[in-house]
A and B are shown apart, each in its own frame.
Chain A
Amino acid sequence: GQNIDQPTEMTATEGAIVQINCTYQTSGFNGLFWYQQHAGEAPTFLSYNVLDGLEEKGRFSSFLSRSKGYSYLLLKELQMKDSASYLCAVLYTGGFKTIFGAGTRLFVKA
């Protein structure tokens, strides 16, 4: 199957930490992307995980568990500019086909 599930919306406070979860039920899994998309703009790349574990890039970290079909994006020290949609996407083996989840809209409040 190609079900990729993530929460529709989340709200967090400036300066706090937020975790956005993504689960997938898919065979042929190769890797998992996280993208950020501000309203009216194109998605921009945040991370790509292939191996299990946590990868940290500044205020953003991404975690993958292949056996559990689970990933999360962790945003620390939230800023107002982090208000955006966060898209989880799965890359299939054997090619370049990438399937996106519906996205999580994050609202950061003061």
Chain B
Amino acid sequence: GAGVSQSPSNKVTEKGKDVELRCDPISGHTALYWYRQSLGQGLEFLIYFQGNSAPDKSGLPSDRFSAERTGGSVSTLTIQRTQQEDSAVYLCASSLRADEQYFGPGTRLTVT
């Protein structure tokens, strides 16, 4: 079956511009997660959505970052006024249960 998909796979943007990253979870998965991974580093938790509950936004690094999940499926991570330190791979994952996560291929964001 189809796995988690993310788009675009690569994004180059100028400092100060806004970007939107998209995640399509596995069909039927109620939980969706966003992580950021800088070069050679581990995954940094950003936010997760679970069903109709309020999202856990505790990992968002600043108010320039926001995410939404429409209809309990597709999610968009928006970064406003991008900075060079935002350059990283942004990974999305989805799951049915808390003890599993299936990752997408990621979006590599480069801010010039």
Contacts and interface: CB of A to CB of B under 8 A. Distances in A.
Interface of A: 30-31, 33, 41-45, 48, 50, 87, 89, 91, 95-103, 105
Contacts, number: 57
- Mostly, the A contact residues are strand
Contacts of A105: 40
Given A42-B91, A89-B43, A102-B42, A97 B100 contact: no
Given A42-B91, A42-B106, A95-B56, A100 B98 contact: no
Interface in B53-90: 56, 58-59
B104 interface: yes
Given A31-B99, A42-B103, A42-B104, A99 B45 contact: yes
A44 B106 CA distance: 13
Nearest to B3: A42
**Contact-residue bracket for chain B:** 20 to 34
Given A42-B91, A95-B50, A100 B103 contact: no
A42 B44 contact: no
B43 A91 contact: no
A43 B56 contact: no
Contact of A91 (B35, B42, B98): B98
Q: Which residue of A43, A48, A95, A99 has the most chain B CB atoms within 10 A of its CB atom?
A: A43
A103 B41 contact: yes
A100 B100 contact: no
A58 to B, nearest CB: 18
Nearest to A2: B45
Contacts of B59: 97
Given A43-B103, A48-B100, A99-B45, 19 more contacts: A41-B105, A42-B91, A42-B103, A43-B43, A43-B91, A44-B103, A45-B100, A50-B99, A87-B43, A91-B98, A96-B33, A96-B98, A97-B58, A97-B59, A100-B45, A102-B41, A102-B42, A103-B42, A105-B40
